[in-house]
Amino acid sequence: MKFATLHDGSADGTLVLVARDGRSALPVPQIAATLIDAMARWEDVRAPLEACYRDLNEAQVEGAIAFDPRRCMAPLPRAPQWLDASAFLNHGRLMEEAFKTPPIPHFDTVPVMYQGASDDFLGPHQDVPLCSESEGIDFEGEFAVMVGPVAMGASPEQAQQAVRLVLQLNDWSLRALGPHEMKTGFGFLQAKPSTAFAPIAVTPDELGEAWRDGRVQMRLQVQWNGVDFGQPHGGEMNFSFGELIAHAAHSRRLTAGCIIGSGTVSNVARAAGSACIAERRVIEKIDLGEIRTGFMRFGDEVRMQAHYADGREGPFGILQQRVVRAP
């Protein structure tokens, strides 16, 4: 199934099913008014939602509307919890090499993860208001999963079974603020503005072979101001989503609707490009001896879209946003 949330003036929006071809959508208030409601009652609503989705794809349902991604909020506009990992170790290793920093202890065996704000996610075409260009405005292309309830101490195999939806996102970062916050030992706060999501969240079966080994086996195409920036592949994740979820649930249970991110999609091959500016900058420092790429300016635009191995557009839709000065 494919889900989206439309603006209706409320904090949680209106849940719709999106047809497989992306052309039409169906509000389902008689089943679940919002996505967080559907997540909380998943075992009860899954079958009727699947029936409606089947009818929508066969054009046999009343009440269908044209699907407009520009009307979308984030699929889940506010979540019980947002946890973001750094599951592509190549990204971290590049940072260590460029800045000669000590390796993170157990980096290869224990996932790195921070807890971000989840009360105000951005939609796929919302402008991104920020305070200052001097704070190092950066995008970070990622994949994520939304889970059902996960018991404390769940194994990676058990955690993997809790995945209900797969998402694509942009985890905005303010790079100039990050170093101080990391040194405090308390994690990110100001360095991580509201995260933005592509319009559509999908059940894993919608991805077919592109959902394998607990990873999204797709390329994430990133463009900055209309110029190709990178197309790294999600299959190079060093930790699976099952492992990430189990790490998050080691000492506490997770409730339905929690979102766990992959961290910046990053590939060893330089030809894949990057999904964030910071990574390109450290590659320039390593390969060229100097950093040549600046961070984003007000008015800049970033566009992200996942693609299947055969080049087809992925099911998440387009995430395209402009950075603007906060009022």
Model confidence band, residue 185 (pLDDT cutoffs 50, 70, 90): confident
The number of residues in the chain equals 327
Q: Domain for residue 168, yes or no?
A: yes
**For 33-53, what is the mean pLDDT?**
98
* Contact call for residues 198 and 166 (beta carbons, < 8 A): no
Q: Which domain holds residue 279?
A: 82-325
Q: In this predicted model, what pLDDT tens digit does every residue of 120-132 receive, in sequence order?
A: 999 999 999 999 9
Nearest-10 Cα torsion for 271, 276, 277, 281: -50
User: What is d(CA 29, CA 13) in angstroms, rounded to the nearest whole number?
Assistant: 11
Give φ, ψ of 9 to 5 degrees: 90, -10
**For 197-224, what is the mean pLDDT?**
98
Q: Domain for residue 67, yes or no?
A: yes
In the DSSP assignment, the letter for residue 281 is H
Q: Same structural domain for residues 66 and 89?
A: no
Q: Same structural domain for residues 55 and 86?
A: no
CATH number of the domain at 221, please: 3.90.850.10
Strand, coil or helix: what is 13? coil
Q: Same structural domain for residues 279 and 162?
A: yes
Whether the per-residue pLDDT at 187 is higher than 90: the answer is no
Q: Same structural domain for residues 133 and 23?
A: no
Q: Same structural domain for residues 116 and 193?
A: yes
Which of 89-93, 150-154, 250-254 is least confident?
A: 89-93
Q: What is the DSSP string of 211-260?
A: EETTEE-SEEEEEETTEEEE--BGGG-SS-HHHHHHHHTSSS-B-TT-EE
**For 49-73, what is the mean pLDDT?**
96
Q: How many CB atoms lie within 10 A of CB 158?
A: 15
The pLDDT value recorded for residue 203 is: 98
Q: Domain for residue 77, yes or no?
A: no
User: What is d(CA 167, CA 197) in angstroms, rounded to the nearest whole number?
Assistant: 7
Q: Same structural domain for residues 274 and 159?
A: yes
**For 294-302, what is the mean pLDDT?**
98
Q: Same structural domain for residues 9 and 117?
A: no
Q: What is the DSSP string of 125-137?
A: T--EEES-GGGTE
Among 7, 27, 8, which residue's Cα sits nearest to residue 17? 27
The pLDDT value recorded for residue 141 is: 98
Q: Same structural domain for residues 41 and 110?
A: no
Q: Domain for residue 196, yes or no?
A: yes
Q: Domain for residue 164, yes or no?
A: yes
Model confidence band, residue 179 (pLDDT cutoffs 50, 70, 90): confident
Q: Same structural domain for residues 236 and 290?
A: yes
**How many domains are there within the chain?**
2
Q: Domain for residue 179, yes or no?
A: yes
Report which secondary-structure segment, H or E, holds 147: strand 141-147
